[in-house]
Amino acid sequence: MPPKKKENEGKGLSKLNAIIFLIMIIVVWLGIFVFLIKLDVGGFGSSVMYPLFKDVPVIKEILPEVDDKEEINGYPYKSLADAIKRIKELELEVQELTEEADKYKETIADLQSEVDRLKIFEEDQASFNKIKQQFYDEVVFGDDAIDYENYKVFYESIEPERAEELYKQVLQKYFFDERYRELADVYSTMKPKKAAAALYEMTGDLEKVVAILNNMDTKDRANILNALSDVDAVFCGKLTVMLAPTN
**Rounded Cα distance, 241 and 236, in Å:** 9
**Res. 220: pLDDT tops 80:** yes
**Rounded Cα distance, 81 and 52, in Å:** 10
Mean pLDDT across 222-227: 92
Quickly state the pLDDT bin for 206 (edges 50, 70, 90): confident
Question: What integer pLDDT is reported at residue 242 of this predicted model?
Answer: 85
Question: What integer pLDDT is reported at residue 223 of this predicted model?
Answer: 92
pTM of the model: 0.33
pLDDT in tens, 45-104: 666 666 666 667 766 676 777 665 544 455 566 667 777 777 788 788 888 888 888 888
Question: What integer pLDDT is reported at residue 1 of this predicted model?
Answer: 47
**Rounded Cα distance, 114 and 120, in Å:** 10
Is the Cα dihedral 87, 92, 93, 94 positive or negative? positive
**Rounded Cα distance, 176 and 168, in Å:** 12
First to last CA, the chain: 135
